[in-house]
Amino acid sequence: MTLKVEKEFQPSETKRIVKNVVIISLAFMVQFTAYSGAANLQSSINAEEGLGMSSLAAVYAGLVLSNIFLPTAVIKWIGTKWAISLSFVAYMPFIAAQLWPSFYTMIPAGLCVGLGGGPLWCAKCTYLSVVSEVHSKISNITAEALLTRFLGLFFMIFQFNQVWGNLISSLVLSSGDNQAAVTAINATMIPEICGANFLPSVDAAEALQRQPYEKIQLLSGIYLACMAAAALIVAIGVDSMKRYDTGRAVKVMGGVEMLMATLKLLVEPKQIMLITIMVFTGLQQAFFGADFTASFVSCAVGTGTVGYVMLTFGVSDAIGCFVTGYIAKITGRIPLVCAATVIHMALVATILLWKPQANMSYVMYIIAVLWGLCDSVWLVQINAFFGILFPGREEAAFSNFRLWESVGYIIAYVISPHLRTSSKAYLIGTTMLVGVSLYFIVEFQVKREREEKETKEPVNGLDNKAFTIAE
């Protein structure tokens, strides 16, 4: 049965839709206050033998499997709302494992996070896509514009997780007389060891100190409380998707069927050309949160400063998500992507050329601000583009997005202990240029298809007008 929005909903329903979007965004912010706060510290507090980076690689390995096999089935079985709420719980073992860090505890906990992440992110994207359509039919604003706006609102609120999570970690680690919160390297050696020359497998033992156990206990307790609160926020405060049933038939798929659906979408030419930019999205986020913070911040200044730099990144990213969502309505996506590409390449060049100094930490904050602004463009505009490219197939499309983004994370975390920061920066720059070039090709293809469709509009327009008069 087709949804008759104008008959079933009052204009005030748009406020309720926005309320649901805001509550989901707040819940994600609280959840990832905990997860991001812990994840951003892994390259510093669990640096020995690459344990922290291995656990993060396990997260995204689990996410790849999850994105292939789980999202559609989980959303169908328990609904979009409960898929979000219960997936939050799957993140909790990772925080608990920080109390007993070893490969036997953190790798399985990382896999658990990944398995919960597939349904979580797909359910969020599906919810926003569907309510955008419903809101569009009530307000006469295009669903494309609303989806971009809602994604901008979501990521603006969501990215504040970097603020609170990293503020908590910095305050806890810097409190008291914690000598492990500052760098152990002599100031004269910082330019030689830290920055582009940093090699985790060799330099981490000297540069990154183990944090006191009581600090890790306190952080873990705070973060576990945040995750429990996030699950309750969604369970109590968000309307079920049944309220906004648009009559779409969602087929329950087993693992093999979901794999085939994913592969079917994957072989489409537009999807293939967007793989590189999806991988880049994961690569650049993982690089900044792990490699930059370890090789520049922790090495040159100290682990206690990591949270403040990531806090700066989070504020910039959040503001950027909100602003770019609205700027895109005026300029379109392409100018924003061009600007982000130029700025991001300049940042990569800075990382390759700049030698950090003990008294030049302000440069790290400038890099964090600009990196956050670029990341906001990738997050909002590429996500929105996927919702536009594959209408009616959002679950598979966003599942593919998260899958390839996860591949980017895995690559970054697997190579992190074994390559110098300079090599990883070259990889990011190359991937970005290739990904953006292919993205432009897809954009122009879509533009050409729309122009061809518009040339046929007069005939369809007459048919629609006659139908409307008859009604």
CATH of the domain at 368: 1.20.1250.20
Cα distances (angstroms) measured from residue 375 to each of 48, 88, 378: 29, 24, 5
Considering the domain boundaries, does residue 27 fall inside one?
yes
The Cα–Cα gap between 389 and 397 comes to 9
Cα distances (angstroms) measured from residue 215 to each of 117, 220, 309: 27, 9, 19
pLDDT of res. 469: 40
The Cα–Cα gap between 171 and 98 comes to 18
DSSP-based three-state secondary structure for 163:
helix
Q: 310 with 298: CB under 8 angstroms? A: no
Cα distances (angstroms) measured from residue 311 to each of 63, 147, 158, 278: 25, 27, 13, 24
Helix (H) or strand (E) holding 355: none
DSSP 235-286: HHHS--GGGG--S-------HHHHHHHHHHHHTSHHHHHTHHHHHHHHHHHH
Considering the domain boundaries, does residue 1 fall inside one?
no
Considering the domain boundaries, does residue 347 fall inside one?
yes
Q: How many independent structural domains does the chain possess?
A: 1
The Cα–Cα gap between 322 and 329 comes to 12
Considering the domain boundaries, does residue 458 fall inside one?
no
Helix (H) or strand (E) holding 138: helix 103-139
Phi, psi of 392 (to 5 degrees): 85, -10
pLDDT in tens, 391-432: 666 666 776 787 788 889 889 888 888 889 999 999 999 999
Residue 189: CB atoms within 10 Å: 13
Q: 23 with 234: CB under 8 angstroms? A: yes
Q: 88 with 116: CB under 8 angstroms? A: yes
pLDDT of res. 432: 96
Considering the domain boundaries, does residue 2 fall inside one?
no
Considering the domain boundaries, does residue 339 fall inside one?
yes
Phi, psi of 347 (to 5 degrees): -65, -40
Q: Residue 238 is encoded by which pair of tokens?
A: 């968000």
pLDDT in tens, 198-251: 887 776 666 666 677 788 888 889 999 999 999 999 999 888 877 776 555 444
- The candidate with the shortest Cα–Cα distance to 90, out of 69, 68, 129, 121, is 121
pLDDT of res. 428: 95
Q: 381 with 329: CB under 8 angstroms? A: no
- Whether this prediction's pTM lies above 0.85 is answered by no
Residues 6+ apart with CB under 8 A from 460: none
Q: 282 with 408: CB under 8 angstroms? A: yes
The Cα–Cα gap between 429 and 276 comes to 12
- The candidate with the shortest Cα–Cα distance to 356, out of 298, 292, 296, is 296
- The 8-class DSSP code of residue 358 comes to T
Tell me the H-state helices in 175-212.
Answer: 190-193, 200-207
Inter-helix orientation angle 255-266/51-69, to 10°: 90
Q: Residue 174 is encoded by which pair of tokens?
A: 């810097």
- The candidate with the shortest Cα–Cα distance to 323, out of 369, 373, 382, is 373
Residue with tokens 């090709």: 441
Per-residue pLDDT of the chain (471 residues; tens, 9 = 90+): 334 444 467 777 788 888 999 999 999 999 999 998 888 777 667 766 678 778 888 888 887 778 777 777 788 788 888 899 999 999 999 999 888 888 888 899 999 998 888 889 888 888 888 888 888 888 888 877 888 788 888 888 887 887 788 788 878 877 766 655 556 567 777 788 888 888 877 766 666 666 777 888 888 899 999 999 999 999 998 888 777 765 554 444 445 555 666 667 777 788 888 899 999 999 999 899 888 988 888 777 777 777 788 888 888 887 888 788 778 878 888 899 999 999 999 999 999 999 888 777 889 999 999 999 999 999 888 877 876 777 666 666 776 787 788 889 889 888 888 889 999 999 999 999 999 999 999 888 888 877 777 776 655 444 544 434 434
Which domain does 436 fall in, by range?
11-246+253-450
Considering the domain boundaries, does residue 259 fall inside one?
yes
Considering the domain boundaries, does residue 471 fall inside one?
no
pLDDT of res. 205: 62
pLDDT of res. 346: 97
Helix (H) or strand (E) holding 332: none
- The angle at the Cα of 107, spanning 101 to 110, to the nearest 5 degrees, equals 100
pLDDT in tens, 428-467: 999 999 999 999 998 888 888 777 777 766 554 445 444 3
DSSP-based three-state secondary structure for 354:
coil
- The 8-class DSSP code of residue 198 comes to -
Residue with tokens 């100031």: 187
